Amino acid sequence: MKARSRIPAGVIDSGLASLATFGVGLFAIHSFDPALLGGYALAFAAFNLLVILPRELVFVPAEIAAVTYASEARLSLIGRTLSLGLLPALAAAVMVSFWSLAAPADIPTTAIFPVTVTTAICTFLSPVQDHLRRMLHIGERSWLATAISVIQVAMTALAVVVAVRLEVPAAWIPFGALAVANLVSLAVGGAMLGLSARSEPPDAPALQLSALVISGKWLLVGGLLGPASVFVASVLVTHLAGAEALGFAEAARVISRPLPVLAAGISAVLRPLSIEAAQKKQLPIARHASRLYLKLMGACGLLYLLVAGADVPWNPLAAILPNGYMISGLAAATIIAETFSVLLFPYRYELLGGDRVVALTVIEGVGAFFRCVVTAIIAGMVASFAMPLGLMIMTVARGFGFHMKLRGLYEPESERPRPDEEAVHPVSGDATLVRG
């Protein structure tokens, strides 16, 4: 019940934070021609890929470890975990700059430099700010996380307005505004926390970068595979069907964006519950969390499909995002694919809490492989539809894999087969055995 009462804060926090991305996406759609919009989509795919590096390598293992402590002690871990993630975030910012090597010839060369610079800055700041907000949810300070998101979306809007008034070239604005918003909200959030996040609790083991990297290496591999498949699929569509085809698919993705935003908000509150239930092998609690999530997301997905799935009179997005409805059925297909994709979130968190990190990595790899292969086969035939269809294929593969690996997670020790595979414990970093 306590977690249920904080769900509105999680949804508002995620919604506001992602509203900033949605807003700059709207700006890009209205300001860029289809070819440049395809280039922006490619850079955005690279951004989504590289922010995984600090998140999965350091931040997620630290968040899993934080769940094992009493809620009042969790906030005191924030200062330490934030500092440990800065170097991986910087490395990700450097690597994202190479996205331009995959840019097709029809993307204007004058736009590549500003998009690259602003994307790199965002790649450094975004995972750090996201980690701060996730730790606040874990520490049961969800409304403080929401306040940080309010600052973020307000600063994004202000940065866009000021940039337009100053006649800044459009290519600088989308990622540039996000960078400013992340920096200001991160600084204000740190100031609001004050001394509570500056030291670890007295009885907590020191959080060492080496231990987090050891426990996070499999999370990193698994976390990279999904976004990597998006980037590869984007490159395939760009080169097999043209940058315009990817531009239309990007417009449809922006239309479907409220669904993963809503999913992230609900998950921010329920995710610690799923992880802790799997850690303690408490199946009723895990199923309570997953069923509550599925009911909420299933209903929201169906409702959103009816409202925004087509260019109909009651759809306000049809006038705001006309490019998303230029290809009949593309928006609906993308919404359906996104809905099914986010329905799997609770089961991923259970696998994390249950030490099934290696299995999760294998599942992500299989799903990413199928997505890339299918996209390569169909992109030349179905153009923009290759993006949502590829996502659906990956979701089906993930769903089968999650079902297989969760079957034995909550079985008593005496009923499990002998373990024969080593994995890394996501909290301590020590070698442990994968069961079931």
Which pLDDT belongs to residue 195?
45
Which pLDDT belongs to residue 412?
57
- Tokens standing for residue 34: 């289809």
Query: Does residue 369 or residue 265 have the better pLDDT?
Result: 369
Which pLDDT belongs to residue 385?
93
The amino acid at residue 410 is: Y
**Burial (0-12, 13-18, 19+ Cβ within 10 Å), 381:** exposed
Which pLDDT belongs to residue 431?
34
The 3-class secondary structure across 326-338, one letter per residue, is: CCCCHHHHHHHHH
Q: If pLDDT is split at 50, 70 and 90, which confidence band does 90 have?
A: very high
Q: Is the pLDDT of residue 423 over 50?
A: no
Mean pLDDT in residue range 52-66: 84
Separation CA 89–CA 265 (nearest Å): 23
3-state secondary structure of 434: strand
Q: If pLDDT is split at 50, 70 and 90, which confidence band does 430 have?
A: very low
Query: Does residue 263 or residue 413 have the better pLDDT?
Result: 263
The alpha-carbon radius of gyration of the chain (Å, integer) is 21
Q: If pLDDT is split at 50, 70 and 90, which confidence band does 76 have?
A: confident
> pLDDT, tens digit, for every residue of 173-189?
999 999 999 999 999 88
Mean pLDDT in residue range 395-410: 86
Q: If pLDDT is split at 50, 70 and 90, which confidence band does 425 have?
A: very low
The fraction of the chain above a pLDDT of 70, given in percent, is 85
Separation CA 180–CA 165 (nearest Å): 16
Which pLDDT belongs to residue 182?
93
Query: Does residue 367 or residue 265 have the better pLDDT?
Result: 367
Mean pLDDT in residue range 337-347: 92
Query: Does residue 168 or residue 202 have the better pLDDT?
Result: 168
For the chain, helix (H) and strand (E) counts, in that order, are: 19, 2
The amino acid at residue 429 is: G
> pLDDT, tens digit, for every residue of 299-324?
989 999 999 999 888 898 888 878 88
What b/e readout covers 393-419, taking b as 16+ CB neighbours within 10 angstroms?
bbbebbbebbeebbeebbeeeeeeeee
- Tokens standing for residue 379: 């992109």
Q: Are 99 and 130 a contacting pair, CB within 8 Å? A: no
Q: If pLDDT is split at 50, 70 and 90, which confidence band does 343 have?
A: very high
Domain layout of the chain by residue ranges: 2-408
- Tokens standing for residue 391: 């996502």
Q: Are 219 and 357 a contacting pair, CB within 8 Å? A: yes
> pLDDT, tens digit, for every residue of 241-296?
887 888 888 888 888 888 887 887 777 777 778 888 888 888 888 888 888 889 88
